[in-house]
Amino acid sequence: MEQTLLTESLIIIAASAAVIAFCARAGISPIIGYLATGLLIGPYGVGLLAVTEGTRFLAELGVVLLMFMVGLEFSFPRMLAARRLIFGMGGAQVLITGALVTGGALMLGVAWLPALILGGAVAMSSTAITLKQLADQDELNSVHGRIAVAVLLFQDLATLPFLILIDAYGSGGGAGAEMAKDIALATAGFLAIAFLSRSTLHGVLAWIARLRSAEVFLLTVLSMALGMGYLAHWFGLSLPIGAFLAGMVIGESDFRHQVEDDLRPFRDVLLGLFFFTIGSQIDPAVVVEQPGLTLLALLLFLFLKAVVIFAIGRAAPWDRRTRLRSALILAHGSEFGLLILSLAMQQDGLLPQSLAQPFLVALVLSLSLAPFLIQHNERLARRLTPGMPEVDHDEIEDIAKAGSRLENHVVLCGCGRVGRLVASVLEEANIPYLAIETAYEQLAHARRQGHHAVFGDASRSRILDAAGLRRAAAVVITFDRFKSVEKILHHVRTANPAAHVVISTRDDRDLPAYIAAGAHTVLPENLAAALSLGAHVLVAMGMDHESAAQHIEAIRAALRSTPENR
């Protein structure tokens, strides 16, 4: 038994390493690599390996850690801050997409529970692929990026009811009413225990953190994730549900980021094994045997979801191109869709292979297309909306109205934490300015504090022109999106080369590139903090403030004169 498991593990790891190395070289998501590995060496491929109970158990641990990490993202304050986007846009997308697929399946004669499972699988989009691709493209903080992230957050949360439903069926659930009652009682009991133990879990983590032992902290977190999974199983729920709740409770503590960093390597390796097991279940012959159903399923993943997202966006103040870009970004399947389908396939009589396999193949095909759709979302949106201006006309008018009375002012790009401090300094000195912010929550915060801020994407040339760039004395950029900053610098050089450009950045990695692109002053936050700390140390050592300031200014001048900072 041990030798068999060792042989299987060696084959899986070696094959995965080879395929994923190719995927990394080709810029393909590792998820596709794991799925391809399972398909290649699994029973429907060359038949080199069959998935056993041992590999399934390790794969389930990967799902447990995935749900735990997802739970970390669902702190209540964060969700309440973006509740309109998450629960409004995200909730409407999942409900409408799921209802349309479920209704269509029922009309074709599929039983209500399999139809509901298919609706849930189609409604989800890949969090892993989307977030990575948007981060690589510097679009996470764009309007369409924030819409996508909000919808993904709700989709991840909406996975839970489907997991509970499948688990209840596997536990011998009978009629719909009886199943719903069992689910409600189990969930209520488990939620009560989970949230009553909140202070205990936070207290244990705080006590462990004071020991300053990374090994003990990691083992404690793993114990919490698996322990809550076991507790959920005792209540009649699945392991991933318990892990999700544990992550949600710990996500409200001060240790969320440390926990994420510690568990990510374990999650990635074990989750890769889960995708491998999914790949081994895919039967390519289905495409030949049922091409119509496979094509229909692919259209549901790519087309139906995009149409729903585009239509829902009409209720919000976004232009057609922004809504279309959000729809293209989310028009694909999800790792959670794979999870829902695979778990349903394992339950006898729940989801027949003849129905599950076409959707499984279509989901994998949509995942393969996802990086292309996300990477080229702007180009595709332009082609689908010919003749449409860059931004909404009303938005341009609002900004132009706010900036029309300004002369020799400051255009403040970004009004977040740093931007609001800059705005306060300018107000104290009676210097006119106009702040441009693209994040609704940051904009609302700035306006509550009385700052002169308007909604818009400062990386767009028409927005900057409407803000009076050609009459401005200075431009201040307070965010770290490199490509967006480069676009702003290029337009400032063209429209108003006399304007002094100051950039605040989190560190000094992009400093040379910003200077080369035309910035006059770049102030890395880590550098400013370090110099301030150094000044305090000099004063603490007995030096007077004037001498300390001279030493700090000498260091600052030396840093400015180094080749890499020119």
SS3 letters for 77-122? HHHHHCHHHHHHHHHHHHHHHHHHHHHHHHHCCCCHHHHHHHHHHH
Q: Is the pTM of this model over 0.75?
A: no
Phi, psi of 507 (to 5 degrees): -145, -175
Which of 285-289, 340-344, 427-431, 558-562 shows the lowest mean pLDDT across its residues? 558-562
Residue 508 banded pLDDT, cuts 50, 70, 90: low
Same domain, residue pair 111 and 170: yes
Count CB atoms within 10 A of the CB of residue 236.
18
pLDDT of residue 191: 63
The answer to the question of residue 31 being in a domain is no
Same domain, residue pair 367 and 442: no
DSSP 302: I
* End position of a domain, from candidates 354, 384, 414: 384
Same domain, residue pair 423 and 347: no
The answer to the question of residue 539 being in a domain is yes
Residue 181 banded pLDDT, cuts 50, 70, 90: low
- Give bridge partners of residue 454 from the DSSP assignment: 436
Count CB atoms within 10 A of the CB of residue 436.
26
Same domain, residue pair 242 and 300: yes
The answer to the question of residue 176 being in a domain is yes
Q: For residue 308, is pLDDT > 90?
A: yes
CB 532 within 8 A of CB 525: no
C-alpha gyration radius of the chain: 27
Cα 59 to the center of its chain, rounded Å: 22
Spell out the residues 6+ positions from residue 207 whose beta carbon is closer than 8 angstroms to its own: none
More confident residue, 391 or 369: 369
Same domain, residue pair 237 and 355: yes
Phi, psi of 218 (to 5 degrees): -65, -45
CB 365 within 8 A of CB 286: no
The answer to the question of residue 32 being in a domain is no
Whole-angstrom distance, CA of residue 533 vs CA of residue 547: 15
* Number of separate domains in the chain: 2
Same domain, residue pair 250 and 300: yes
Average pLDDT over residues 473-488: 85
pLDDT of residue 116: 92
The answer to the question of residue 357 being in a domain is yes
Record the tokens describing residue 486, joined without a space. 């480069």
Query: Which candidate, 276, 302, 288, places its Cα nearest to that of 362?
Result: 302
More confident residue, 361 or 562: 361
* End position of a domain, from candidates 331, 362, 384: 384
More confident residue, 77 or 463: 463
Whole-angstrom distance, CA of residue 286 vs CA of residue 308: 28
Q: Highest mean pLDDT range out of 56-65, 149-158, 437-446?
A: 149-158
The answer to the question of residue 213 being in a domain is yes
In 392-460, which residue ranges form alpha helices assigned H by DSSP? 393-403, 417-428, 440-448
Same domain, residue pair 439 and 472: yes
Residue 95 banded pLDDT, cuts 50, 70, 90: very high
Residue 81, CA distances (Å) to 75, 76, 213, 452 in order:
10, 9, 34, 22
**Range 398-405, long-range pairs (CB < 8 A, 24+ positions):** 398/454, 398/455, 399/434, 399/436, 399/454, 399/456, 399/463, 399/466, 399/467, 400/466, 400/467, 402/434, 402/452, 402/454, 402/467, 403/434, 403/466, 403/467, 403/468, 404/468
Which of 60-74, 417-431, 474-488 shows the lowest mean pLDDT across its residues? 60-74
CATH of the domain at 299: 1.20.1530.20
Same domain, residue pair 345 and 425: no
Count CB atoms within 10 A of the CB of residue 464.
27
CB 241 within 8 A of CB 232: yes
CB 65 within 8 A of CB 246: no
The answer to the question of residue 247 being in a domain is yes
CB 426 within 8 A of CB 410: yes
* End position of a domain, from candidates 332, 366, 384: 384
pLDDT of residue 566: 43
pLDDT of residue 317: 66
Same domain, residue pair 351 and 290: yes
Residue 123 banded pLDDT, cuts 50, 70, 90: very high
Spell out the residues 6+ positions from residue 91 whose beta carbon is closer than 8 angstroms to its own: 154
What does DSSP say about strands 453-455 and 500-505: parallel, antiparallel, or unpaired? unpaired
Whole-angstrom distance, CA of residue 504 vs CA of residue 488: 14
Same domain, residue pair 365 and 479: no
Same domain, residue pair 353 and 433: no
DSSP-based three-state secondary structure for 498: coil
The answer to the question of residue 232 being in a domain is yes
Report pLDDT digits (tens) over 318-374. 778 888 889 999 999 888 888 888 888 888 778 888 888 889 889 988 888 888 888
Print the domain residue range for 466. 393-565
Cα 110 to the center of its chain, rounded Å: 34
Average pLDDT over residues 535-542: 77
Average pLDDT over residues 99-112: 91
DSSP-based three-state secondary structure for 333: coil
CB 310 within 8 A of CB 93: no
Same domain, residue pair 347 and 399: no
Average pLDDT over residues 176-197: 61
Whole-angstrom distance, CA of residue 368 vs CA of residue 35: 10
